[in-house]
Amino acid sequence: MGIYGALSTAVSGLQAQSYALENISGNIANSQTIAFKRVDTGFQDMVQESAPGRQTAGGVTASAQATNDLQGSITASTVGTNMALNGSGFFVVTKKTGESNNNPTFSGQSVYTRRGDFSLDKDGYLANGAGDYLEGLSVDPITGSVSGSVPAPIHVSSANLPAQPTDQIQYQLNLPKQPLNSAYSATVPGSDMLQPSSFLPNTAAASAAGTVTLVGTNAAIGVMVPGTSSSVTVAGNTLTFDYYDSGAGAYVPVAGHVGIDVTAGTNITTALGSMQTALQASPLAGAATATVGLNGAGKVQMTLASTDLTDSMSITDTTNATTGLGLGTQTALPTPATGPVNTISAANAGAFQAQSISGSAITIYSANGSPENVQIRWAKTSNSPTDTWNMYYMSNSAATGAATMWTKVPQSYTFGANGSLNPAVTTTTIPSMTINGVNLGNITVNHGTNGVTEFADANGTASVTGLSQNGYAAGTFVSVGVDTNGRVVASYSNNQQVAVAQVVTASFSAANALKPLDGGSFASTTESGSPILSSNGQNIAGASLEASNTDISTEFTKLIVTQQAYAAGAKIVTAADGMLQQALNMIR
């Protein structure tokens, strides 16, 4: 290798450094281009074929080194349709070729980009700043499942969202072991339950016990006949004692009455003691210090005293035939009505609310999207042998008189000792549910596994843990964005969000072998391999943008090195020129 060889090598170095300068220039120029991938420069020496002992340094050639697989920093964006890929991969896009009948036409050829500054164009398609149109897979708006396997341009319609009638209600709650409704009294067994006698017809029969002289050790059942009652009235307020035999069956309480158990083995003294306890706990004037017992003549005597009364009051049963305490001639209890209370009239709404607890309320929607408010109440209907509850809903808020206001759901809820439903109830159907004259059809109430329980609650109220439904009114289009699963989601004025499409990403075995195109997009090549499509959306970040992976400080450093290398190459050319001049001067 001679002077001319050195000159040729120096020129190749100048050319290589010029190429590197060109790449540095492009990198710096695109330092603010969204998702731009810088181009580095690689150098390879070109060695002339020669014997090992005669080997000389060869020339140099420069080549581009792509950085398509190096991610830029992710920054937040205020535009909901902007996207960034946090990791490897590319968005699948296509080019617009024109319009036909005012509708855009596309090339049908997919290319790939990491530029995610997408926004809606005039036709409702998502396009980025370089004019590339985003492709994805369609999503069923009802089921949310992805359909198809071939990506197509994503289109977002600005049409109104039709109303969806409610047909499913999700409802989970805990019912209290002891409901503390307004009818509950600690001294009245069963007062926490719904009393069918308050809403269904009752029957009554007269019963009389003969005149007797009472002895405290005598059996109470002989003079306090089960199924009868006695009443005490003070200052216009009445307290009624119902006599029952627990050995013959459970006491079915009448609202506001006090049950006195006169089962076999209970004597008169014990029964009168129960009456005294109940009387002292009652709201009657002077009852706080009331006494109930037998006087010296074997008659029942009751005393009440209060500063609200002019004198202390004494009521004594002297003949066993008076109506004072009724132990001579007793008033027959009405035979309590039994059976399910399927409907509650408006006239009985007050008693119903007193004997039940609130179960919350929810708005559901009819076929035309009109909202209907559903108020729910729960009533305990049995505590023997197991606790049973029924759910009611207000079917006619404007009902009056005998018209139905509340309707029972057909399903009964029976609980075991552990507070779980037995049998289990995971779902129930309200047939032809009608609210204020609007028939909403069959409504399915989903409780799920262990969705309804009965555990002790200090407040005695229902604790609702979940209450939702699947209907909504019609809505107008508001905006579009991208969720955390990479789905394009349209938002509407009725607060509904509907997935429109699933964004598809592509990955390549050799991403740096992709062919760069204008606008930051790439085309696949034989060297890059075929695209591997994915629709899981895991690495898609909505309302975000990827910055250029160009680092200005690094590029300036490379610029200094390139400039100095170029200057050094120029010195070689100058030196070679001087040497040639010396060689020419030798013949002069």
Secondary structure (DSSP) of 266-316: -BHHHHHHHHHHHHHTS-STTGGG-EEEE-TTS-EEEEE--TTSSS-EEEE
Predicted pLDDT at 348? 94
The position carrying tokens 């805990």 is: 174
Dist. CA 10–CA 59, nearest whole Å = 7
CA distances from 278 to 240, 383, 417 (A): 10, 22, 29
Are residue 258 and residue 291 in the same domain, yes or no?
yes
Looking at the domain assignment, is residue 32 inside a domain? yes
Q: Could you tell me which residues come within 8 angstroms of residue 526 by beta carbon, excluding any fewer than 6 positions away?
A: none
Q: List the strands of the sheet with 387-394, edge to edge.
A: 343-345, 404-415, 387-394, 371-382, 357-365
Predicted pLDDT at 321? 38
Q: What is the 3-state secondary structure (H, E, C) of 389-453?
A: EEEEEECCCCCCCCCEEEEEEEEEEEECCCCEECCCCCEEEECCCEECCEECCCEEEECCCCCEE
Q: What angle do CA 364, 367, 371 make, to 5 degrees?
A: 35
Looking at 408, 443, 469, the residue that finishes a domain is 469
Are residue 347 and residue 458 in the same domain, yes or no?
yes
Q: What are the tens digits of pLDDT across the range 10-58?
A: 888 899 999 999 999 999 999 999 999 999 999 988 767 666 766 667 7
Looking at 469, 502, 523, the residue that finishes a domain is 469
Domain range enclosing 115: 74-158+485-546
- Closest residue by Cα to residue 522 from 92, 116, 135: 92
**483 pLDDT exceeds 50?**
yes
Burial class (CB in 10 A: 0-12, 13-18, 19+), 430: buried
Predicted pLDDT at 229? 82
**366 pLDDT exceeds 80?**
yes
Q: What are the tens digits of pLDDT across the range 527-573?
A: 999 999 999 998 999 999 999 999 999 999 999 999 999 999 899 88
Predicted pLDDT at 317? 52
DSSP 511: G
For 575, the token pair is 């030196």
Mean pLDDT, rounded, for 84-92: 96
Are residue 245 and residue 370 in the same domain, yes or no?
no
Neighbours of 478 (CB within 10 A): 15
Looking at the domain assignment, is residue 477 inside a domain? no
Are residue 434 and residue 519 in the same domain, yes or no?
no
For 364, the token pair is 């559901």
Q: Which amino acid is at 31?
A: S
Looking at the domain assignment, is residue 189 inside a domain? no
Predicted pLDDT at 208? 40
Between residues 481 and 147, the one the model is more confident about? 481
Between the CA atoms of 206, 207, 211 and 215, what dihedral angle is there, to the nearest 10 degrees? -140
**346 pLDDT exceeds 70?**
yes
Predicted pLDDT at 251? 83
Are residue 58 and residue 38 in the same domain, yes or no?
yes
Mean pLDDT, rounded, for 123-139: 96
Are residue 331 and residue 355 in the same domain, yes or no?
no
Mean pLDDT, rounded, for 232-252: 82
Looking at the domain assignment, is residue 540 inside a domain? yes
Work out the pLDDT band at 448, boundaries 50, 70, 90. Answer: very high
Predicted pLDDT at 347? 93
**310 pLDDT exceeds 50?**
no
Q: What are the tens digits of pLDDT across the range 182-226?
A: 999 887 778 899 988 788 875 544 344 445 677 888 888 878 888
Dist. CA 341–CA 334, nearest whole Å = 18
**239 pLDDT exceeds 90?**
no
Dist. CA 194–CA 176, nearest whole Å = 15
**355 pLDDT exceeds 70?**
yes
Q: Which amino acid is at 572?
A: I
Dist. CA 496–CA 479, nearest whole Å = 11
- Closest residue by Cα to residue 290 from 189, 301, 259: 301
Looking at 469, 494, 511, the residue that finishes a domain is 469
Work out the pLDDT band at 318, boundaries 50, 70, 90. Answer: very low
Between residues 335 and 292, the one the model is more confident about? 292
Predicted pLDDT at 494? 94
**Percent of the chain at pLDDT exceeding 90:** 64
- Is the overall model pTM greater than 0.85, yes or no? no
Provide φ and ψ at 256, rounded to 5°: 90, -10
Dist. CA 279–CA 48, nearest whole Å = 121
Strands 237-244 and 258-261 turn out to be parallel
Are residue 437 and residue 489 in the same domain, yes or no?
no
**337 pLDDT exceeds 70?**
no
Q: Could you tell me which residues come within 8 angstroms of residue 357 by beta carbon, excluding any fewer than 6 positions away?
A: 175, 176, 179, 180, 181, 377, 378, 379, 460, 461, 462
Between residues 399 and 102, the one the model is more confident about? 399
Mean pLDDT, rounded, for 480-493: 95
- Closest residue by Cα to residue 36 from 515, 519, 512: 519
Between residues 339 and 122, the one the model is more confident about? 122
Residue 202, classed as helix, strand or coil, is coil
Are residue 559 and residue 539 in the same domain, yes or no?
no
Provide φ and ψ at 2, rounded to 5°: -110, -160
Q: What is the Cα 366 distance to its own chain's centre?
A: 22
Predicted pLDDT at 153? 97
- For residue 153, whether the previous peptide bond is cis, meaning omega lies within 30 degrees of 0, is no
Secondary structure (DSSP) of 219-278: BGGGTS-TTEEEEEEETTEEEEEEEE-GGGS---PPTT-EEEE--TT-BHHHHHHHHHHH
Looking at the domain assignment, is residue 150 inside a domain? yes
Are residue 398 and residue 498 in the same domain, yes or no?
no
Q: Across all residues in the chain, what is the average pLDDT? A: 88
- Closest residue by Cα to residue 359 from 468, 453, 461, 440: 461
Residue 474, classed as helix, strand or coil, is coil
Are residue 62 and residue 80 in the same domain, yes or no?
no
Predicted pLDDT at 322? 40
Q: What are the tens digits of pLDDT across the range 282-309?
A: 887 777 888 888 877 777 777 776 444 4
Mean pLDDT, rounded, for 152-177: 96
Looking at the domain assignment, is residue 478 inside a domain? no
Residue 141, classed as helix, strand or coil, is coil
Looking at the domain assignment, is residue 297 inside a domain? yes
**493 pLDDT exceeds 90?**
yes
Which has the minimum average pLDDT: 58-67, 371-380, 452-461, 469-478? 58-67
Are residue 282 and residue 392 in the same domain, yes or no?
no
Between residues 152 and 248, the one the model is more confident about? 152
Are residue 210 and residue 319 in the same domain, yes or no?
yes
**469 pLDDT exceeds 50?**
yes
Q: Say which CATH number the domain at 177 has.
A: 2.60.98.20
Looking at the domain assignment, is residue 480 inside a domain? no
Q: How many structural domains is the chain composed of? A: 4
The dihedral of CA 135, 138, 141, 143: what is its sign? negative
Dist. CA 538–CA 485, nearest whole Å = 6
Mean pLDDT, rounded, for 457-473: 96
